Structure 1
Amino acid sequence: MLLRFTCLLTFVFMAKTSLAQSYDILIKNGRIIDGTGNSWYYGDVAVQAGKIAAIGKLDRAKAKRIIDATGLVVAPGFIDVHTHIEGNEMVTPTADNFIHDGVTTVVTGNCGGSSLNMTKYFARLDSVKTSINVASLIGHNTIRRAVMGDAQRDPTAEELAQMEELVEKAMQDGAVGLSTGLIYVPGTYSKTPEVVALAKAAAKHGGVYASHIRDEGDNVTEAVSEAIAIGRAANMPVEISHFKVTYKPNWGRSVETLALVDNARKEGLDVTVDQYPSLRR
Structure 2
Amino acid sequence: MVRHGTTTVLVGNCSLGTSFGTQQSGEQEPIVDCFTRVENIPKTVLRKVAEKITWDNTGDYMDHFAEMPLGPNIAAFVPHSMLRVEVMGLEDSVSRKPTEAELCRMEELLEAAMQQGYMGLSTDGLPFHYLSNDPNHREAYPHPVRELW
Normalised by the length of structure 1, the TM-score is 0.34
CA distance in 2, matches of 1:187, 1:120: 32
* Count of equivalent residues: 105
Give the whole-Å Cα distance in 2 for the aligned partners of 1:187 and 1:166. Answer: 25
Structure 1 runs (4+) greater than 4 angstroms displaced: 186-190
- The structure with the greater share of residues assigned to strand is 1
Give the Cα–Cα distance (whole angstroms) in 1 for the partners of residues 133 and 87 of structure 2.
Answer: 12
Q: Does 1:197 align with 2:141?
A: yes
Task: Report the CA distance shift for 1:159/1:134 in structure 2 as closer, same or farther (over 3 A).
Answer: same
For residues 196-236 of structure 1, give each alpha carbon's deviation from its aligned partner in whole angstroms, at most 9, with x where no partner exists. Answer: 332x42343x4xxxxxxxxxxxxxxxxxxxxxxxxxxxx3x
Q: What pairs up with 1:233-244 in 2 under 5 angstroms? A: 235=149
Gaps of 5+ in 1: 4-98, 207-234, 236-281
Q: Indicate the structure with greater helix content.
A: 2
Deviates more, 1:108-117 or 1:125-134: 108-117
Establish whether residue 119 from structure 1 lines up as the match of residue 20 from structure 2. no
1:120-269 aligned at under 5 Å gives the runs 120-149=60-89, 150-151=91-92, 152-181=95-124, 182=126, 183-185=129-131, 190-193=136-139, 196-198=140-142, 200-204=143-147, 206=148, 235=149
Secondary structure at the aligned position of 1:165 is classed as helix
Q: In structure 2, what is the Cα distance between the partners aligned to 1:134 and 1:201?
A: 21
TM-score by length of 2: 0.61
What fraction of aligned residue pairs are identical, expressed as a percent? 36
Question: Which of 1 and 2 has greater Rg?
Answer: 1
Q: Unpaired segments of 5 or more residues in structure 2? A: 21-56
Using CA pairs below 8 Å that are at least 6 residues apart, which structure has the higher relative contact order?
2
